[in-house]
Amino acid sequence: MAQRIGNYTIKLDKQPSVLGYAAVVGKKEGQGPLGRNFDMVYEDTLIGQKSWEKAESVLQREAVKKALEKAGCQPSDMDGIIAGDLLNQCISSTFGLEPFDIPFLGVYGACSTMAESLLVGSMMIDSGAANKCVCVTSSHFASSERQFRFPLEYGGQRPPTAQWTVTGSGSVILGSSGSDICITEMSVGKIVDAGIKDANNMGAAMAKSAAVTLLNYFSDTGYDPKQFDMIATGDLGFVGSQILIELLSREGINLGDKYTDCGLLIFDRDKQGVDSGGSGCGCSASVLCAYILNGLKEGKLKDVLFIATGALMSPTSVQQGESIPGVAHLIRFNKISN
């Protein structure tokens, strides 16, 4: 059974294994610095579908298919699938995953959903409720734009703090054994409202929640950030990352050069016109499943903290003038040497 360390950290007893993983993305992401790492890059952002929502469903479906293939598993081997996305009522997940015929749990944590699904999946494996399960999430630039902002062809200007929703999906197959990449510890984040009201500055809205989660984790475990090979936040972008570094340094914690952000890794900010960086559920999910897990597999990384961050707002709350609370969940991945 899992153990609690301190106030917020969960130490997993069974240490769920990452049996397989895959990331599929759109054209812009494929042209970015991580282009070669993705399992599939779709040149057509509609993926031959009649709506952006259906295109996003295909992203999730293909990510799961590829991950199952790489794990050498069939959908019928899975005891559960834990998924979510940014669209109202999580329709990318439900419409995309229906053909697999796997027991489904929908989760919503905005852009932190990948970590949330891994948290739930790991607890299912650890408790014995599942032997194998799938964790998946996605986002699509066009489906997010139309739901949260403007029609795609609307001619508006983006402020430099804005972030670019990633078109992509990442999927992880977890099992009770069978791989040397394991999830060893986790921390469920709290809802933190820093009072930011600008929907064009999500990084700032989420940075405090990431700082709180990391601070709690380090205080629970007594670890030093230096001992990790990588500390990666989900989608804080340039602005959010800088705020996080500053907030933690005020608390006496220096994240050092091992710190990075998935929103900064996926795009080239200077050349791709994404302003503060990438965002969306698909941002942290696709970078995790294309870059971070590959690093662990190849042995370049052995101990990684993955902190997916989410902005818990809706178009309604923003229009009503409410501030944007954030949440950040932490997952520790280890490469176990035999």
Partner 1 sequence: MNISNKEYDELNKKISPPSHMFRNMCFAFLIGGLICTIGQLLYRLYVYWGLGVSDARSVVSVTLIFIAGLLTGIGVFDKIAKYAGAGTIVPITGFANAIVSPAIEFKCEGWVMGVGAKLFALAGPVIVYGISSSVIYGVILWLFTL
Closest distance between partner 1 and the C-beta of residue 93, in Å?
19
Closest distance between partner 1 and the C-beta of residue 108, in Å?
23
Q: Are 94 and 60 in contact (CB under 8 A)?
A: no
Of 176, 184, 221, 242, the one binding partner 1 by CB under 8 A: 242
**Considering only residues 153-172, where is the footprint of partner 1 by CB under 8 A?**
153-161
* Burial class of 180 by CB neighbour count within 10 A (0 to 12, 13 to 18, 19+): middle
Of 23, 202, 232, 247, the one binding partner 1 by CB under 8 A: 247
> DSSP letters along 86-142, please?
SSGGGHHHHHHHGGG---EEE--BTBTHHHHHHHHHHHHHHHTS-SEEEEEEEE-HH
In 3D, which of 74, 172, 84, 69 has the Cα closest to residue 125? Answer: 172
Nearer to partner 1, 6 or 159 (CB): 159
32-40, 88-96, 196-204, 324-332 -> range binding partner 1 (CB under 8 A): 196-204
Nearer to partner 1, 76 or 157 (CB): 157
Q: Are 254 and 248 in contact (CB under 8 A)?
A: yes
Query: Which residues, including other chains, have CB under 8 Å from residue 150's CB and lie 6 or more apart?
Result: 156
Nearer to partner 1, 64 or 194 (CB): 194
**Which positions from 58 to 97 touch partner 1 by CB under 8 A, shown as an x/- string?**
----------------------------------------
Q: CA 335 to CA 130: how far, in whole Å? A: 22
> DSSP letters along 284-323, please?
HHHHIIIIIHHHHHTTS-SEEEEEEEEE---HHHHHTT--
74-82, 118-126, 206-214, 291-299 -> range binding partner 1 (CB under 8 A): 206-214
> DSSP letters along 164-206, please?
EE--EEEEEEEESSS-SEEEEEEEPPPPB------TT-HHHHH
Does 204 participate in binding partner 1 (rule CB under 8 A)?
Answer: yes
108-116, 247-255, 296-304, 306-314 -> range binding partner 1 (CB under 8 A): 247-255
For residue 26, the surrounding DSSP H or E stretch is strand 17-26
Of 211, 287, 288, 305, the one binding partner 1 by CB under 8 A: 211
Of 98, 224, 251, 268, the one binding partner 1 by CB under 8 A: 251
**Which positions from 275 to 314 touch partner 1 by CB under 8 A, shown as an x/- string?**
----------------------------------------
Nearer to partner 1, 17 or 201 (CB): 201
Would you tell me which residues interact with partner 1 (CB under 8 A)?
50-53, 146, 150-161, 194-196, 201, 204, 208, 211-212, 215, 238-239, 242-243, 246-247, 250-251, 273
